[in-house]
Chain A
Amino acid sequence: MLEKFKSYLVDKGGITEAEFQELAPVLQTKTIDKGTYLLREGEVCKYAFFVEQGLLRSFSIDQAGKEHIIQFAPENWIMSDISSNFFNESSDFFIEAIENTEVVLLDKTFFNLSDKSSSYRKYNELLLQNHIRHLQKRVNLLLSASAEKRYLNFIQLYPDLTLRVSQWMIASYLGITPESLSRVRKELATKNFKPN
């Protein structure tokens, strides 16, 4: 239970056992079925969600009713809507479980308590910088990269998601049509497949 979250706090974040014992009572977990929403457009997002097991996606729906996937969060990822969670604005996004999922709910109490650990503060700062780097790269890829380059970047970031999510979701995340994704995969197979 919470093996991955504890490892995230202690092994990576440098939280001591004593600090963990202080944090443990405020930790809330939630087990949700595939298809359940943790956030809907217009709501205020009260939590950041650490994925202990399963898979989340965040997405928006445009005026034509089309979904645009912003991010996937498999195990060990944290997903939230920053504008809503940090700045208290109503959210533009939905967060949905696309597998049966177990999440740890991180709220203000958790962040205030964990802030007492200087090593965790430092680690959290690193994560934040890393997240900004990821988002900058993602914006650049969406604006300038070929479909193939976007796909190659995707499989590097999320290696096993090609086995866990449908093609249309990957295409939506990449900002290309399912037909383009299919073409990219076909071209890669033509290049790389060597029958034995």
Chain B
Amino acid sequence: MKTKKIESIIAPQMPHYVGDGFRVHNFIPGVYPLTMQRMSPFIMMDYNSKFYFPPTDKPRGVGVHPHRGFETVTIAYKGKVAHHDSAGNSGVIGEGDVQWMTAAAGILHKEYHEKSFSEAGGDFQMVQLWVNLPAKDKMSTPKYQGITHEQLNKFQLPNNGGEIEVIAGKYNDIEGSASTFTPLHLYNMRLNKGGESTVSFPANFNTLLLVIEGEIQVNGNEFVATNQVALFENEGETIQINATENAVILVMSGEPIKEAIAAQGPFVMNTRDELIQAIDDYNMGKFGYLED
């Protein structure tokens, strides 16, 4: 098997706010070359690097908004988010938890810092990833997969190297905790200093990693620092990761969905007409209702 080399290392851009509770660096699709087409099935990635929010009695967050045509994956590293949706679901995403929401045909939701976290204040650090759905599943029934940190399937690295949380896909013989619509792998690696791991993905899978904490060396040469993204070439299969200090790394690799993308705001469809339909359905209440 051939080495999958780094194509480029991308530093975080100036952060912007989503609502008043998420101070994010956008990577996909805003930063060249991380376009929706290039990174498919990963069509959006916002990263709230570790940021201290002071105490408040009015929780910060994002008000009611719709989604259609894809899945949102929220991975919490620090802080807690409470969410509610138009189907009546609600819950809290705590530290180390993953929420995999299949918006598909359409859902309204809102996301706020959890009440007690807001009142105490504290460090907040999260990734939100949008995973595209193939045309045949875009209008399927919305669903949730809430996976707590305890429930995540884990692979223990030898020599006290750390562990790999297999959120989706497969690592060695460990199956991912979340089910997906198209082939993809999503790992959270928690490596101890000196820890080493090798991952392997098909050459054509679009692959990237984000260093959440610490620093790593990739394939024995390039270093990737905290908050940086490494984008990999679509050649070769294996990637070797060494932690030069204790590190947390989010690794993403997926088979591209080779379909047209028509996107506007919270809707990602295949055609312009489907987008217009989505906006009209939202305006006409066909996504349901959720109180702000």
Is A bound to B?
yes
Interchain CA distance A193-B286 in the complex, whole Å: 4
Chain B's closest residue to A194 (CB) is B286
- Which residue on chain A has the smallest CB distance to residue B142? A196
How many Å lie between the Cα of A188 and that of B280 in the bound state? 12
User: Are B289 and A185 neighbours in the complex by a CB distance under 8 Å?
Assistant: yes
Query: Are B286 and A185 in contact, CB atoms less than 8 angstroms apart?
Result: no
CA A189 – CA B282 in complex, angstroms? Answer: 9
Stretch at the interface among A7-15, A46-54, A154-162: A154-162
Q: Within the assembled complex, what's the spacing in Å between the Cα atoms of A167 and B282?
A: 14
Please report which residues of chain A, range 78-101, place their CB below 8 angstroms from some CB of chain B when the two chains form the complex: none
Q: How close is B167's CB to chain A, nearest CB, in angstroms?
A: 27
B199 contacts the other chain (CB 8 A): no
* Chain B, range 249-292, C-beta contacts under 8 Å to A: 264-266, 276, 279-280, 282-289, 291-292
Task: Please tell me if the beta carbons of B286 and A159 are within 8 angstroms of each other in the complex.
Answer: no
Instruction: List residues of chain B with CB within 8 A of the CB of A144.
Output: none
CA of A192 to CA of B282 in the docked complex: distance in angstroms? 10
Task: Given A160-B264, A162-B282, answer yes or no on A193-B287 (Cβ-Cβ < 8 Å).
Answer: yes
Number of interface residues of B (CB under 8 A): 21
Q: Given the interface contacts A163-B265, A167-B292, does A192 sit within 8 Å of B280 by beta carbon?
A: no
B289 touches A186 (CB 8 A): yes
In the bound complex, residues from chain B placing their C-beta under 8 Å from that of A163 are 65-66, 264-266, 279, 282
Q: Say how far B156's CB is from chain A's closest CB, in angstroms.
A: 41
Whether a CB of chain B sits under 8 angstroms from the CB of A195 is yes
A81 to B100, CA, bound (A): 48
Supposing A159-B283, A160-B265 touch, asked if A193 and B289 sit within 8 A by C-beta, the answer is yes
Report if A190 contacts B (CB, 8 A): yes
CB proximity to B under 8 Å, residues A158-192? 159-160, 162-164, 167, 182, 185-192
Whether B31 sits at the interface, judged by CB under 8 Å, is no
Does B157 belong to the interface (CB within 8 Å)? no
Using known A-B contacts A160-B264, A163-B266, A196-B105, determine if residue A188 contacts B284 with beta carbons closer than 8 Å: yes
CA distance A194 to B286 in the complex (A): 7
The answer, yes or no, to whether B174 is at the interface (CB within 8 Å) is no
Pull 30 A–B residue pairs with CB atoms less than 8 Å apart, ordered by A.
A155-B283, A159-B276, A159-B279, A159-B280, A159-B283, A160-B264, A160-B265, A162-B279, A162-B282, A162-B283, A163-B264, A163-B265, A163-B266, A163-B279, A164-B265, A182-B291, A185-B285, A186-B285, A187-B285, A188-B284, A189-B285, A189-B288, A190-B289, A191-B285, A193-B285, A193-B286, A193-B287, A193-B288, A194-B286, A196-B105
Interface residues of A (CB under 8 A from B): 155, 159-160, 162-164, 167, 182, 185-196
What are the 4 A-B residue pairs with the smallest beta carbon separation, nearest first? A189-B285, A188-B285, A189-B289, A155-B283
Given A160-B264, A187-B285, A188-B284: 11 more A-B contacts, CB < 8 Å: A155-B284, A162-B279, A163-B65, A182-B292, A186-B285, A188-B285, A189-B287, A190-B285, A190-B289, A193-B285, A193-B288
